[in-house]
A = this chain, B = another copy of it.
Amino acid sequence: MPELTSDRETFRYRSVEKHITQMIQTGALSLGDRLPSLRKLSTNLGMSISTINQAYLELERKGIIESRPRSGFFVRRNSTRLPRTEKSPSSMKEPRPVTRSGLIQSHLEAVGREDDVPLAVIAPGPELLPLRELGKITAGIIRDDPARAMHYAPIPGCPELIRQIAFRSMENGIPSAIDEPVITAGCLEALYISLRSTCRRGDTVLIQSPTYYCFLQLLETLGLRAIEIPSDPENGVSPADLAHALSTFDIAACVLAPNYNNPDSSLTPDEAKQEIVRLLAERDIPLIEDDVSTDLYFTPNRPGTYKQFDQKGLVMLCSSFSKTIAPGYRVGWVLPGRFRKKVLEIKATTNVCTASPSQMAIAEYLRQGRMERHLKRLRRALEKQMDTMQFHLKRYFPAGTRVTHPTGGAVLWLELPRSIDSVDLSYKARAQSIGIIPGVVFSTQDKFSNYIRLSCGAPWSEKLREGLEKLGKTTHDLLNLQEK
């Protein structure tokens, strides 16, 4: 009865396949993980090695796993993802005042909230922060030198932290960084100070579109106007688009993310960066660079920054430790180029200086050489989390959904079927305690009304899977409702 045997065989290897798929679905196995050896699984499941082998080969055929010579089988990257988000149509229009404030404000309330399915706020989950190490260092700092921890720091920052950041900047190819960094309370403060150092109310600022909604709100509160050029998930910002904008409008400053732009994770190639810096230098236009995500690269090497091509001190590199070690410490910095004096003046009149214990603790953490090891772990974890998210997005979201395929960072940008109103979806999600950010807040225009941004900061969990399942179902329901 070969057919019966075959049926039974099929049933068996299908059950193995299902077993492995479930492990991936529950996060027990994720990107890059090695599958159990044929022998081990054969023993554990009480099946023949050839059955297990057949199941693995079938999973490989489906692109879910891959075999590596003499190493075994591994969960494959991007094995089951939605198709890529495509480049959005060119979006340059007249500069316009920014008026997203109300909507943005309602989403900012998610900051510091703990009861949600955490897809809204971009920050690594606590499991990925060096809680014990940094905590111990902080407690030690305060015990050993309470007088300094409780006293004002100098306005530019604690010297030992400035040194560490200058050193790291040099390692990242920015040779002029010695003594240049000014410490701020996070990257947003660095951006805020940079904008105030270079623009006045009514000025026009060039941004990429989509862009981080907090920039838009910042532009709005400063009374600045925005001109948007497209950000392509695959190729970032194009020098040609920038050149066109420069020749058309009177631009006071640019705000660009070199790598893993929030929300579309776009990376502008280094040659394009260099060309953009050159174009701006010709016109003496400052470029404010949001470098907060660059350390989160999944590629073998760290991508470049605009700052490394800066020869005129026009690039203001802004960054922080909020996406890597301690968002709540509020420590960031700006490499302010020729605007240093103005930057210090604005820092001094905003809040005098940044909190001393936070600065001292992070300086010591860096000095002890703990950052690189931590970043390696963090990058691997984020890449896995993102991959698991991709897998489940593909499972739960309706056909016609697309998503970015980032090579770094911690966010996914989901393009839903065109008829979906993502603001509506975000309110329905909120009612189920799921925090997501609707696409419209990432632009002054309305072209992202069917997009949502999802943070991949939190380690994979059943709660997250359920959240994505509910979100997918709610999206299906919205679609079905429209079809009736």
Binding site for B on A (CB under 8 A): 101, 105, 108-109, 111-113, 121, 123, 126, 129, 131-132, 134-135, 138-139, 142-143, 146-155, 184-186, 188-189, 192, 196, 200-201, 214, 217-218, 221, 223, 322, 325-330, 341, 344-346, 348-358
A121 to chain B, nearest CB (A): 7
- A348's contact among B131, B146, B214, by CB below 8 Å, is which? B214
Question: Contact at A149–B328, with CB atoms within 8 Å?
Answer: yes
How often does this chain occur in the complex, in copies?
2
A-B contact pairs, 20 of them (CB 8 A): A101-B345, A108-B155, A111-B352, A112-B154, A112-B353, A123-B152, A126-B151, A129-B146, A138-B139, A139-B142, A139-B143, A150-B326, A186-B351, A186-B352, A192-B351, A201-B201, A201-B223, A330-B351, A351-B351, A358-B358
A152-B327, A348-B217, A355-B185 known; A126 and B113 CB under 8 Å? Answer: no
In the complex formed, the residue of B with least CB distance to A153 is: B112
Question: Contact at B351–A329, with CB atoms within 8 Å?
Answer: no
Question: Contact at B146–A135, with CB atoms within 8 Å?
Answer: yes
A196-B221, A200-B201, A357-B329 known; A350 and B189 CB under 8 Å? Answer: yes
Question: Contact at B146–A349, with CB atoms within 8 Å?
Answer: no
Question: Contact at B350–A138, with CB atoms within 8 Å?
Answer: no
A450 to chain B, nearest CB (A): 26
A154-B113, A328-B153 known; A200 and B218 CB under 8 Å? Answer: no
A102 to chain B, nearest CB (A): 9
Question: Within 8 Å CB of A341, what residues of B?
Answer: 105
Question: Contact at A348–B142, with CB atoms within 8 Å?
Answer: no
Question: Within 8 Å CB of A344, what residues of B?
Answer: 105
In whole angstroms, what is the CA distance A220 to B185 when docked? 22
A150-B126, A150-B131 known; A200 and B223 CB under 8 Å? Answer: yes
In the complex formed, the residue of B with least CB distance to A113 is: B154
In the complex formed, the residue of B with least CB distance to A349 is: B218
- Centre residue among A121, A148, A185, A186 by max chain B CB count within 10 A: A185
In whole angstroms, what is the CA distance A92 to B101 when docked? 39
What 10 pairs between A and B have smallest CB-CB spacing?
A328-B356, A112-B154, A126-B147, A139-B139, A131-B146, A189-B351, A185-B351, A135-B146, A150-B326, A218-B349
Question: Within 8 Å CB of A134, what residues of B?
Answer: 146, 150
Question: Within 8 Å CB of A129, what residues of B?
Answer: 146-147, 150-151
Question: Within 8 Å CB of A353, what residues of B?
Answer: 111-112, 328, 330
Question: Within 8 Å CB of A154, what residues of B?
Answer: 109, 111-113
In whole angstroms, what is the CA distance A186 to B349 when docked? 11
User: A129-B147, A189-B350 provided; 8 other pairs, C-beta below 8 A?
Assistant: A108-B155, A135-B142, A150-B326, A184-B351, A328-B355, A328-B356, A329-B357, A355-B355
Question: Contact at A355–B327, with CB atoms within 8 Å?
Answer: no
